[in-house]
């Protein structure tokens, strides 16, 4: 079993570190939040007082941080991972960040003699707790092989997507598709309501017809048809609208940098920004149906 340094044990990183400890890996965790560290300790990790201490003898270093700036700082900062990790350590960044930063940090890791993978996840806090996350992985094939035991302890579907940044690229594409689909499903239900059609009937037909999708079938934005969807608990997240907005911005940045036209991705970003500015960013992203309806 491996010695693993884990940086960022928040809503996602906490349960991921817990599953590594459950699989008998030795986990040393660091986070800026004492509460997050307390929870990680209760779940079987050893608490480290600094990044340096968490990574000092780690064979694998995993990070799960909010955004690109945090990742750059934690890896490349003066007392960061590059400066303190042992030779030959494998780095796995599971944060969802922009492709450009991800590639830059991977390049810098390579130049410093370390292997690095970008490995953003899909599956939310529920998937993190259950150990059923999907990992989208970018980086060298041999580094991917070395990371497999750790991935398997935290997830169910592990996909090697290509070279450095490829995991982030697939994640941005997936979430842009998901946001657009959710808005489409929401518009469909709002139209059906206005036409006086029972929502369950709409669901029964559309979820088996050509509109079927995860947003409709599993994560249905109206209460009733899919009993476990956030619509049944007043849109308590789940996956917050603010997180979706962050991911849409990453997708739009990538689209602009590469000259790709994504008009619906751009519109989805504008709509989620509006929803967030209404003070609803902490709700589940499927709650955007309420804004589109114009009333609760
Ligand atoms: P979170 O805010 O709960 O956790 C992030 C943790 O990082 C916090 O505990 C914070 O204290 C810590 N942190 C920040 N800067 C640090 C630093 N310099 N050193 C050490 N620790 C630091 O966020 P989260 O929900 O766990 O999300 C983490 C990442 O996972 C994000 O990139 C997010 O987009 C992605 N993600 C989240 C979900 C979800 O459903 N929450 C799903 C998929 C992907």
CA distance 136 to 63: 15
User: With contact defined as beta carbons under 8 Å apart, do 53 and 80 qualify?
Assistant: no
Pairing of strands 3-7, 26-30: parallel
Mean pLDDT within 146-174? 97
Closest Cα to atom 12, ligand 1: which residue? 8
Q: Where are the alpha helices (DSSP H) in the chain?
A: 13-22, 34-42, 51-55, 68-76, 81-84, 99-111, 124-130, 141-154, 166-194, 199-206, 214-217, 241-257, 263-275, 288-293
Q: Does 245 lie in the same domain as 280?
A: yes
Mean pLDDT of the chain, nearest integer: 96
The domain boundary, picked from 162, 184, 201, lies at 162
Q: Does 154 lie in the same domain as 233?
A: no
CA–centroid distance, residue 185 to ligand 1 (Å):
29
The best mutation among 64, 122, 179 to test binding of ligand 1, ranked by most ligand atoms within 8 Å of the C-beta, falls on: 64
| Residue 125 confidence (pLDDT) above 90 | no
| Residue 253 confidence (pLDDT) above 70 | yes
| Residue 7 confidence (pLDDT) above 90 | yes
* pLDDT number for residue 44: 97
The pTM assigned to this predicted structure is: 0.91
Q: Does 122 lie in the same domain as 27?
A: yes
Q: Does 100 lie in the same domain as 14?
A: yes
User: With contact defined as beta carbons under 8 Å apart, do 256 and 211 qualify?
Assistant: no
CA–centroid distance, residue 122 to ligand 1 (Å):
13
Read off the pLDDT of residues 8-51 as tens digits, 9 standing for 90 and up.
999 899 999 999 999 999 999 999 999 999 999 999 999 999 99
Q: Does 73 lie in the same domain as 88?
A: yes
CA distance 168 to 241: 19
Q: Does 131 lie in the same domain as 100?
A: yes
Give the range among 144-148, 185-189, 276-280, 292-296 with minimum mean pLDDT: 292-296
CA distance 41 to 231: 34
Among residues 171, 236, 295, 296, the one annotated as catalytic is 171
Q: Does 26 lie in the same domain as 153?
A: yes
Q: Which CATH number fits the domain that encloses residue 16?
A: 3.40.50.720
User: With contact defined as beta carbons under 8 Å apart, do 99 and 145 qualify?
Assistant: no
Q: Does 177 lie in the same domain as 125?
A: no
| Residue 255 confidence (pLDDT) above 70 | yes
Read off the pLDDT of residues 76-103 as tens digits, 9 standing for 90 and up.
999 999 999 999 999 999 999 999 999 9
Q: Which range marks the domain in which residue 224 is found? A: 169-292
Question: Which atom of ligand 1 lies at the shortest distance from residue 13's CA?
Answer: 26
Ligand 1 binding pocket, CB closer than 6 Å: 7-8, 10-13, 30-33, 36, 64-66, 70, 73-74, 95-96, 121, 124-125, 239, 243
* pLDDT number for residue 238: 83
Q: Does 153 lie in the same domain as 17?
A: yes
Q: Which CATH number fits the domain that encloses residue 220?
A: 1.10.1040.10
Q: Does 149 lie in the same domain as 34?
A: yes
Structural domain count, the chain? 2
* pLDDT number for residue 159: 98
| Residue 296 confidence (pLDDT) above 80 | no
Q: Does 272 lie in the same domain as 156?
A: no
Question: Which atom of ligand 1 lies at the shortest distance from residue 239's CA?
Answer: 40
Q: Does 194 lie in the same domain as 151?
A: no
* pLDDT number for residue 18: 98
Read off the pLDDT of residues 219-233 as tens digits, 9 standing for 90 and up.
999 999 999 999 999
CA–centroid distance, residue 192 to ligand 1 (Å):
38
The domain boundary, picked from 108, 129, 162, lies at 162
Mean pLDDT within 128-145? 97
């Amino acid at each position: 079993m491996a010695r693993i340094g884990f940086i960022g044990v928040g809503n996602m990183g906490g349960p991921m570190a817990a599953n590594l400890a459950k699989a008998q890996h030795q986990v040393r965790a660091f986070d800026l939040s004492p509460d997050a560290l307390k929870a990680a300790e209760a779940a079987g990790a050893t608490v480290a007082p600094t990044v340096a201490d968490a990574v000092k003898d780690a064979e694998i270093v995993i990070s799960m941080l909010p955004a690109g700036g945090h990742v750059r700082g934690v890896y490349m900062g003066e007392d960061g991972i590059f400066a303190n990790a042992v030779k030959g350590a494998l780095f796995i960044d599971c944060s969802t960040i922009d492709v450009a930063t991800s590639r830059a940090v991977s390049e810098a890791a390579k130049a410093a003699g370390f292997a690095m993978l970008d490995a953003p996840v899909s599956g939310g806090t529920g998937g993190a707790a259950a150990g059923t996350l999907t990992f989208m992985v970018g980086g060298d094939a041999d580094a991917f092989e070395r990371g497999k035991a750790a991935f398997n302890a935290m997830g169910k579907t592990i996909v090697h997507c290509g070279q450095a940044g490829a995991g982030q690229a697939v994640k941005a594409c997936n979430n842009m598709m998901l946001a657009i689909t959710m808005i489409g499903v929401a518009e469909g239900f709002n139209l059906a309501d206005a036409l006086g059609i029972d929502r369950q009937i709409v669901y029964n037909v559309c979820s088996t017809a050509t509109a079927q999708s995860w947003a409709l079938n599993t994560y249905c934005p109206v209460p009733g048809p899919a009993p476990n969807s956030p619509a049944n608990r007043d849109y308590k997240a789940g996956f917050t609208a603010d997180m979706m907005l962050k991911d849409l911005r990453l997708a739009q940045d990538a689209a602009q940098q590469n000259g790709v036209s994504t008009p619906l991705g751009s519109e989805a970003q504008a709509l989620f920004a509006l929803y967030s500015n209404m003070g609803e960013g902490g709700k589940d992203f499927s709650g955007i149906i309420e804004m589109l309806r114009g009333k609760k």
